[in-house]
Amino acid sequence: MNHARRTGMMAALSTYLIWGVLPLYWNLLARAEANEILAHRIIWSFVFMVVVLMVTKRWQSFKEDCRALWQDKKRAAILLLAAFTISLNWLTYIWAVNHGHVIDTSIGYYINPLMSVLFGIVFFRERISGLKKISLLLAAIGIVLMTYQLGKLPWVAVALAVSFSVYGALKKQLHLNPFSSITLETLLMV
């Protein structure tokens, strides 16, 4: 396995571990309202990203991206919509964890990759191989079984999966440096 692939795998694994532990953290904040927690998450994410831009010497690139967006109103609108969509996703997730819907959030993050693949096929004309179709079918069956065991439509799961997939589709159209994009999204949310 080459270095880039190993780094990508470690980043993905770390992300999923953090996402797995995050409900425990949000649960410690259960006394606070979801919108208050969201406000802190937005503000501190913005501050963190500004520091990251400075430390990694990406500030000049960030300014250039801002100028380009200022001149391209369509991309600026996509960025605004992406910021709004991820805000809804974050708020739904925080609210769900603090109101005892952790299983629903888990189902949502199982549904999310399937929804993202569906968006890729429908909106971006992406193709998937036969083995990937089989793995998607098995994952879909697993989600149907989990939903059946739950005994109701997990609206939180659907909201999380749809909002994050829409966010991903918007970001794919944006064609913007990820550091600039996240910083600008959190700035718009602030």
CA distance 47 to 56: 14
Give the angle 8-12-15 at the CA atoms, nearest 5°: 140
Helix, strand and coil percent figures for the chain, each rounded to 5: 85, 0, 15
Q: What is the pTM of this model?
A: 0.86
Ranking 19-23, 59-63, 116-120, 185-189 by mean pLDDT, the lowest is: 19-23
CA angle 140, 5, 112 (to 5 degrees): 25
Residue by residue, DSSP assigns 116-140 as: HHHHHHHHH-----HHHHHHHHHHH
**pLDDT value of position 100:** 87
Give the tens place of pLDDT for each residue, 11-24.
888 887 887 787 77
Longest dimension (CA), the chain: 52
Give the N- to C-terminal CA distance of the chain in Å, as an integer: 41
| Cβ–Cβ < 8 Å for 143, 115 | no
Q: What is the pLDDT of residue 45?
A: 96
Per-residue pLDDT of 55-98, as tens digits, reads 999 999 999 999 999 999 999 999 999 999 999 999 999 999 88
